[in-house]
């Protein structure tokens, strides 16, 4: 397996966690988003959306983390990240989508670059924008997970939701959107900090990490 990734990309972060949880070895290939590496014709052939991550397996390219994690569940079913039981699968997918479609697109690199280069917003205004949407995500997650969370987002078993929650929290730490007032999120962060698969997926553990 090959994973095209950027150390600071929360979407790439999710895929790294899933691969680590499943014990799947992969080759890391860095795509520097701020230098436009994703915009090359060569990379666009692999991922027409010109985004990361992209997983290559047996000569086939797969983009988007929901699709990648679902694929990995079929390649390596243990641990199962999207369970077969219909209701639990739907609830875990809902948790993922709170972040995947409800928060992350509003705070990702392409959005903040647009705010800077096209709308000409200053750094402080852009930072406030990102913090607003991350904090909104904290509220949504805390409320939704109240009836589900244990040590992990859904009880005592790791799931795809955990692959999404940790990158969200790390982004919050980076942009100064504290979650001290959200006890479930704080508890989950402590769980992840103790887990090897999560620690090895952290941005500062990647070969392209820049301080």
Q: Is the pLDDT of residue 211 over 90?
A: no
pLDDT in tens, 130-188: 999 999 999 999 999 999 999 999 999 999 999 999 999 999 999 999 999 999 999 99
Query: What's 2-79+200-205's CATH class?
Result: alpha beta
Domain map of the chain by residue range?
2-79+200-205, 86-198
* 3-state SS track over the chain: CEEEECCCCHHHHHHHHHHHHCCCCCEEEECCHHHCHHHCHHHHHHCCCCCCCEEEECCEEEECHHHHHHHHHHHCCCCCCCCCCHHHHHHHHHHHHHHHCCCHHHHCHHHHHHHHHCCCCCHHHHHHHHHHHHHHHHHHHHHHHCCCECCCCCECCCCHHHHHHHHHHHHHHHHCCCCCCCHHHHHHHHHHHCCHHHHCCCHHHCCCCCC
Which pLDDT score, from 0 to 100, does residue 102 have?
95
- Average pLDDT of span 86-102: 98
pTM score: 0.96
Q: Is the pLDDT of residue 72 over 90?
A: yes
Q: Is the pLDDT of residue 11 over 90?
A: yes
Q: Which CATH number fits domain 86-198: 3.10.450.50, 3.90.870.10, 1.20.1050.10, 3.30.70.3280?
A: 1.20.1050.10
- pLDDT band of 109, cuts 50, 70, 90: confident
Which pLDDT score, from 0 to 100, does residue 119 have?
97
- Average pLDDT of span 67-93: 97
Mean pLDDT of the chain: 97
Which pLDDT score, from 0 to 100, does residue 99 have?
98
């Amino acid at each position: 397996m090959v994973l095209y990734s950027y150390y600071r990309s929360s979407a790439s972060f999710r895929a790294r966690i899933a691969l680590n949880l499943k014990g799947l070895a992969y080759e890391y290939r860095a795509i520097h988003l701020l230098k436009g590496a994703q915009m090359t014709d060569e990379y666009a052939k692999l991922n027409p959306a010109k985004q990361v991550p992209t997983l290559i397996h047996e000569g086939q390219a797969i983009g988007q983390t929901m699709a990648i994690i679902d694929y990995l569940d079929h390649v390596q079913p243990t641990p199962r990240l999207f369970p077969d039981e219909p209701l639990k699968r739907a609830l875990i997918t809902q948790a993922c989508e709170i972040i995947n479609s409800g928060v992350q697109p509003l705070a990702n690199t392409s959005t903040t670059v647009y705010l800077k280069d096209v709308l000409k917003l200053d750094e402080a205004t852009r930072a406030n924008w990102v913090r607003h949407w991350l904090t909104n995500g904290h509220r949504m997650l805390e409320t939704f997970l109240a009836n589900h969370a244990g040590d992990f987002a859904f009880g005592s078993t790791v799931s795809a939701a955990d692959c999404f929650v940790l990158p969200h929290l790390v982004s919050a730490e980076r942009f100064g959107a504290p979650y001290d007032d959200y006890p479930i999120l704080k508890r989950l962060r402590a769980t992840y900090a103790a887990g090897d698969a999560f620690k090895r997926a952290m941005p500062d553990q990647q070969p392209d990490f820049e301080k």
